[in-house]
Amino acid sequence: MKSVGVTLLLVLIAGAMLAAVPARGAGVDPPGGAHGSPVYAPVVGSIEGTVTDKYTHQPLFAADVMVAGTGLGGITDRDGKFAISDVPAGSYRVTVSMMGYEVAAVDDVEVRDDPTTTMHFELCPRVLDIGLNVLVEASHFHKDSEKPTSFRTLTPQEMRYSPGAMEDVFRVLQSMPGVSPADMTNSNLIVRGGDPSENRTLFENIEIPRALHFGRPGGTIGGISIVSPSLLERVDFLTGGFPARYGDKVSSVFEMKLRDGSSTNYNTNLNFNMGGFSLAADGPLPGGGTMLFSVRRGVFDLLTSTMNVPALPSYWDVVGKVTYDLGSSNKLSLVGFYFPDDLEIAADPDGESRHGMWPGLDLERSDHGRAVGLNWRHLQGERGYVLTTASHISNSWTTSRGTEEEPRLVGDAIREEEFQLKSELNRKLSDRVNVRLGVFARQIHSEQHTWSVSDTAATGEVIPAYRVTYDPAPPYKAGSYLQTTVRPFSRVSLTTGLRYDYYDFTGESKVSPRLGMALSLTDRTTLNAAYGHYYQTAAPWHVALHPSNTTLRSSGSVHYVAGLKHLLSRSTQVSVEAYHKELSDVFVHSYTSRITTNKGSGHAQGVELCVQRKMSRGLVGSLAYTYSISMRRDGASLPEYYSEYDRPHNLTLVGSFTPSDRWRIGAKFLYATGSPYTPVVGSEQVDGEWYPVRGTKNSARYPDYHMLDVRVDRSFQFANWKLLAYLDLWNVYGYQNVTLYNYSIDENGTVIRTAPDEAPRMLPIFGLEARF
């Protein structure tokens, strides 16, 4: 632990330096031999994009777009479009300003040789009271008056260069306040003590069940994101108190927005790392359209086969977007993705799974997922627009466990399809009032076949053999919402909302009020608060396993959130936020009887502190600390216990230094209290066999979880292309984090506890990216 203490001290010193180092503008290294890169001509690129009103999506004419530190800029035309050429290759801060609007800025915008960097800005109208002076400057921190609390926006550069993330957006989000790490091999999001299945995921306004390879319905394992950061324009992440347009989940909202392809140049990107080999391309299409396309092949199966590891995971993914502007008022976007996952794991006769069942059988899994959707945005005059989305989502999961002689002793085959249609009217009633009115409908077709031979659980309970077939008539969900944002004064923003959801399978109708408020106490200090009711219907995999599960009601949660944000400078922000969640009708599942009930209840509460420094160059980073408690109760008369996702202390320190456009050095230190588990406290003999005796539920904890990751990036600029290389070292000091114990009992009834060596002590990840 001495090395851990020294490492933590160094990282703390680096974190303390965040407020001491002055912001630096975005400079550019001179091309040529100064850095040993074989550049044969001055290296310049261009920036193009659009600027629109946030609430009406109307193009903004005569907005000023500036590239900080260069003196270069442009002005938008009547279509809201701009183009800035001859920008020296490098990393910049791009700002947009216009009379009557808040100044907007994006950091770390990369300009490359020849390819065009495409951007999109949405400006928020500024409300000014007569006689009141308001500080107008471009902050590095994105604000959204409709989402006053628990809201973060990530840019592609923040996602791509984060240490210990392997360019995976979900691993980057695990460093956010209120998010607990799963483990070194898991990208699932545990938000404010909630189950990963309680998080809503949106892909280009399409609600999808998952965006992770190797994720399962109700599963706690998730490998790697389906969508690469290089394809994204931004990611919005809400950890609580989210407004009325989001529903049917009780913990968080994760929303991905793909970037548009370039309208002037064809760009190609080749990438290789431990996550896989990918090819991405974007550019113009005939008729004035643009396209964005990516295909990736995972390499885990190739790596594990060479290392003689018994797990052989393989996957592919394809992501695409085609966009056309149909005149000045209509825009169509066709988006979609497809992925197949396959996994084989050899039996571990001496092991124990998390539920004590089937460790001695071979495992084979085959998962497939796809989504395709059409977004139609129609401008309605100068005051609003309508966004309509039609989509189809299909997922299938097939699992079998068995022996070489009988490979299908235990398994399931699940298929789920959804047809979604939703439309939202956004209307700017005045400079101070904006309204969203939405309607939606979803038809769900679920089919599940599950089977098992008889077995004896780890407790000694005999589980009879069973075979379940579930194929109901496709139910539907429908509803509407009204959301209003009012800015009665320049320093006050109030968002109210009311949502109605109907589910015909259970006949449930739910009404969810929402309220959010932001009050600017000073030019740099804002008080935020939110309140809301949230509901989540039972998933088909909840219902399928037993006839009594068809009566399951929606689980519920009430969120109370309050926080304070203060800008220490344009590039440094401190925020403190407290939350309380009251949980009702929580799903309680028995793995032996296969019955799920609504008898559960609970609460989660905590306080989050975040200090963050952003800029295009120099020293950047964040400190995020969360203290939280997450409790559950499986019945009114049963004792309360710690949730399996309860981790009272979470600390993440992330720092990155960019001495030049060629080099970037970063590090991340993560610490979390160990997760609760139910210990084995003894053994008992039944019919000559020894079985473990379990103690009080979740009364023990695994050891505290901590690790240090270090990443170094180096870029090489050639005449017509650019090469980026990086080395990402996970768990540098080699600490063996324990997230599972295996138990065995010898012939004398003595319980033997071992910790499986599930993850490497230190994992070096090397990556290459070529941009053309």
- pLDDT tens profile 572-587: 999 999 999 999 999 9
| Cα gap 709→666, rounded to integer Å | 8
Main-chain phi, psi angles of 6, to 5 degrees: -65, -45
Alpha-carbon distances of 551 from 345, 378, 439, 506, 547, rounded to whole Å: 36, 41, 26, 7, 9
Q: What pLDDT is recorded for position 21? A: 37
Cβ–Cβ under 8 Å, residues 290 and 261: yes
| Cα gap 80→56, rounded to integer Å | 13
- For residue 204, what are the contacts with CB-CB under 8 A and spacing of at least 6? 256, 257, 258, 321, 333, 335, 373, 375
> Measured between alpha carbons, how far apart are the two ends of the chain, in Å?
46
Cβ–Cβ under 8 Å, residues 126 and 103: no
Quick one: 5 exposed, middle or buried, by C-beta within 10 A (0-12, 13-18, 19+)?
Answer: exposed
| Cα gap 739→567, rounded to integer Å | 38
Give the 3-state secondary structure of residue 7: helix
Q: What pLDDT is recorded for position 11? A: 35
Q: Are strands 44-53 and 116-123 parallel, antiparallel or unpaired?
A: parallel
- Burial letters 465-480, b for 16+ CB under 10 A, else e: eeeeebeeeebebbbb
Quick one: 515 exposed, middle or buried, by C-beta within 10 A (0-12, 13-18, 19+)?
Answer: middle
Instruction: Name residue, tokens 């959301």.
Output: 483
Instruction: Name residue, tokens 């009020």.
Output: 513
Q: What pLDDT is recorded for position 71? A: 87
| Cα gap 184→706, rounded to integer Å | 10
For residue 337, the surrounding DSSP H or E stretch is: strand 330-345
Give the 3-state secondary structure of residue 92: strand
Cβ–Cβ under 8 Å, residues 400 and 358: no
Sign of the alpha-carbon torsion through 550, 470, 370, 171: positive
Alpha-carbon distances of 245 from 51, 70, 249, 674, rounded to whole Å: 24, 41, 12, 35
3-state secondary structure 220-252: CCCCCECCCHHHEEEEEEECCCCCCCCCCCCCE
Alpha-carbon distances of 650 from 45, 116, 220, 625, rounded to whole Å: 42, 40, 19, 6
Task: Calculate ∠ Cα 450-455-458, nearest 5°.
Answer: 115
| Cα gap 352→350, rounded to integer Å | 7
**DSSP string of 414-452, one letter each residue:** EEEEEEEEEEEEEEEEETTEEEEEEEEEEEEEEEEEEEE
Q: What pLDDT is recorded for position 111? A: 83
| Cα gap 751→745, rounded to integer Å | 5
Cβ–Cβ under 8 Å, residues 426 and 55: yes
- For residue 20, what are the contacts with CB-CB under 8 A and spacing of at least 6? none
Extract the tokens encoding 93. Answer: 């801060």
Q: Which residues of the chain have pLDDT under 70?
A: 1-42, 113-114, 128-140, 217-222, 303-312, 348-360, 458-460, 615-617, 757-760
Extract the tokens encoding 171. Answer: 């691993």
Task: Read off the pTM.
Answer: 0.87
Extract the tokens encoding 84. Answer: 């800035």
| Cα gap 40→738, rounded to integer Å | 52
How many Cβ atoms from other residues are within 10 Å of residue 119's Cβ?
20
Extract the tokens encoding 597. Answer: 């009930």
